[in-house]
A = this chain, B = another copy of it.
Amino acid sequence: MAELKNMARLPVLKRGIETKEKIINAAWILFSDKGYFKTNTKDIATKAGVATGSFYAYFNNKKDVGIELIRRFYKDGTEKVLSHTIKKISDMLAENPGPKTVRMTVKFIIESFKEFHAISPMLQRDALVLILMDEEVKNVSREEDGKILSFLIEILQQYKEYLRVDDVEAAATLLFRVSDEVMHRIMIHNDEIEAERLLRELEDMICNYIFVSDLK
């Protein structure tokens, strides 16, 4: 039934597309500023310069903009950040193949996670909350996480010969979760420990875990 009620207008004219975009941008600004939960649909519509009804013409409800934003967020993260990382790693491997690049690769990955989380910590936080509290959002995130995981697995497999782990999928999952969590602690929870110390250990941990030790 939830599927059937997907009544949101699919804009065909340029004007409609623009309006939808205006709403998304307004939501982005408001969510980044006040957070998802303190923003209401009327605010979003007003900020977008449209009527409340228009909001509901393009989105079934507030959650749906949230999901849309989370998707874009992930997309940006994967397209701009992770794929960029892959490129960097490939370039590096082309120039300078061999075990010496391993640590650099890990650095790059961590760096890309950092960049990803720096885009909008507020949104990251609220996304985290939504994922915890809403099944639909959880599924969206799971779906998107799957893509990131594939990236990581792909990267790891480029180093097949230097891996010390057998279960690459589980290792990649762990690598993903661990990096993600560390970024959360740094960007969202503002844990007392200095970010640098944590990041240094993170890098060290990953290298020692994933790769055989006699490389360095």
Contacts and interface: CB of A to CB of B under 8 A. Distances in A.
**A contact residues, range:** 35 or more
B181 A198 contact: no
B205 A167 contact: no
A129 B125 contact: no
A72 interface: no
A18 interface: no
A169 interface: yes
A17 interface: no
Stoichiometry, copies per complex: 4
A192 B170 CA distance: 11
Contacts of A177: 178, 181-182, 185
Interface stretch (A62-70, A84-92, A130-138): A130-138
Contact of A209 (B37, B164, B181, B209): B209
A200 B167 contact: yes
Interface string A27-44: 000000000010000000
Contacts of A173: 191, 193, 198, 201
A128 interface: yes
Given A205-B174, A213-B213, A169 B193 contact: yes
A128 B204 CA distance: 27
Given A165-B201, A174-B205, A209-B209, 14 more contacts: A125-B133, A128-B132, A167-B197, A169-B193, A169-B197, A170-B193, A170-B201, A173-B201, A174-B201, A178-B205, A180-B181, A205-B205, A208-B208, A208-B209
The 4 closest A-B pairs by CB, nearest first: A205-B209, A181-B181, A170-B197, A170-B201
